[in-house]
Amino acid sequence: MTVQRIAARAAAFGAAVVLTMTSGAVARADDDIESLPAQEIADRSRDALLGAESLHMRVQGDLGGGRPSMMIDLTLDRSGNCAGGIDLGDDRGKVEIVKRGDAVWLKPDADFWENQVPVGGAAFDAILAGRYMKGEASDSRLRPVVDACDLDTVQELVTDNADTVGGTLTKGTKTTVDGVSAIPVTRSGDGDRRDGRLTVYVATEGKPYPVRITVRNDSADAAVDFSRFDRPVPTATPSPEDTVDVSALLGRTPAPV
């Protein structure tokens, strides 16, 4: 399903912009974060992110691939719970996502069905009639959504790719991001994209979490905001009356592409 690929891309993009700022070196435990060299600040932000039990991630802008600017807004934790949604932009559709335990709920809107599933989408929209489609986390058709909802997956991507980065790091002047004091660190010349620039804004008070990352290169122009670290994912789930089993749905209409 199209929404599966979009959700997987969301998780991969969020992880990718974090890993390109860090090298995996061990940072010192002393010193004020603002006084550290750029690389150590980036390393501390990586370590803080890897230690988070939950967070809110908002990705907005052009993620590449010739798509319109979109927004991904998810709160997720290391137990695989998540809540939020995806807006494809340009009235191309929105999808609400809820995952709790072994259950997954997806609610695409009418624009999504019309633009992303031109063959059979209207039938899906009519059957759902504003309800969620519900499936099990073990359903292979929902695997990309399940992975995108799991903070462990994002953190593993960061860890597995921490030593593949290049370019030059530069520390900037302290600023504020959504009311949070932060120090920016910019990496220029990212791999083959020599004109690429990626900036991570690292909190200067409390744990040095990355609170915003902006990426601009020849394929993407987007920002990733992180907040609500270690706060619970909302527990509300759609009621049975507001859901349709995904297997029953796919059995009644042509499968979406």
Res. 12: pLDDT tops 60:
no
CA dist 209 → 19, 32, 55, 178 (Å): 14, 14, 10, 14
Q: Which residues pair with 176 in a beta bridge?
A: 181
Higher local confidence (pLDDT), 169 or 147: 169
Query: For residue 187, what are its two tokens?
Result: 């990496």
Tokens of 214: 């902006």
Predicted structure pTM score: 0.81
Checking if the pLDDT of 30 tops 90, the result is: no
According to the model, what pLDDT value does residue 153 have?
76
Integer Cα distance of 53 and 76 in angstroms: 9
| Residues in CB range of 185: below 8 A, 6 or more apart | 21, 38, 41, 42, 45, 169, 170, 171, 172, 199, 200, 202
Report pLDDT digits (tens) over 189-221. Answer: 654 444 568 899 999 999 999 999 888 877 778
Q: Which residues of 213-222 are buried (b: 16+ CB within 10 A; e: fewer)?
A: bbbbbeebeb
> By percentage, how much of the chain surpasses pLDDT 70?
76
Query: What is the residue whose two structure tokens read 């010739």?
Result: 66
Instruction: With cut-offs at 50, 70 and 90, classify the pLDDT of residue 157.
Output: low
pLDDT at 254 over 50: no
Instruction: Say yes or no to pLDDT of 26 above 50.
Output: no
Burial class (CB in 10 A: 0-12, 13-18, 19+), 176: exposed
Output 255 or 127, whichever has higher pLDDT: 127
Question: For the purposes of burial, counting CB atoms within 10 Å of the CB of 26, is it exposed (0-12), middle (13-18) or buried (19 or more)?
Answer: exposed
Please count the helices (runs of H) and the strands (runs of E) in the chain: 7, 13
The token duo for 197 is 């620039």
**pLDDT, average across residues 92-98:** 91
Top pLDDT among 1 and 118 is at 118
110 pLDDT more than 50: yes
Q: Which fold has domain 2-252?
A: outer membrane lipoprotein receptor (LolB), chain A (2.50.20)
Quick one: tokens of 184? 């920016």
Q: pLDDT category, 187, cuts 50, 70, 90?
A: confident
- Strand 103-108 and strand 132-136: pairing? antiparallel
Kindly state the average pLDDT of the residues 80-96.
Answer: 90
Max CA pair span of the chain: 62
- Give residue 151's pLDDT: 87
Per DSSP, helices labelled H in 20-63 are 38-51
Most confident of 24-28, 40-44, 64-68, 219-223: 40-44
Which has more confidence, 177 or 64? 177
| pLDDT above 80 for 14 | no
Q: Is the pLDDT of residue 102 over 60?
A: yes
The C-alpha torsion from 245 through 246 and 248 to 250, rounded to 10°, is: 160
Instruction: Give the pLDDT confidence score for residue 41 in this predicted structure.
Output: 93
Name the residue type at position 219: S
Please say if the pLDDT value at position 60 is more than 60: yes
Cβ atoms of residues 212 and 225 within 8 Å: yes
What pLDDT shows up at residue 184? Answer: 95
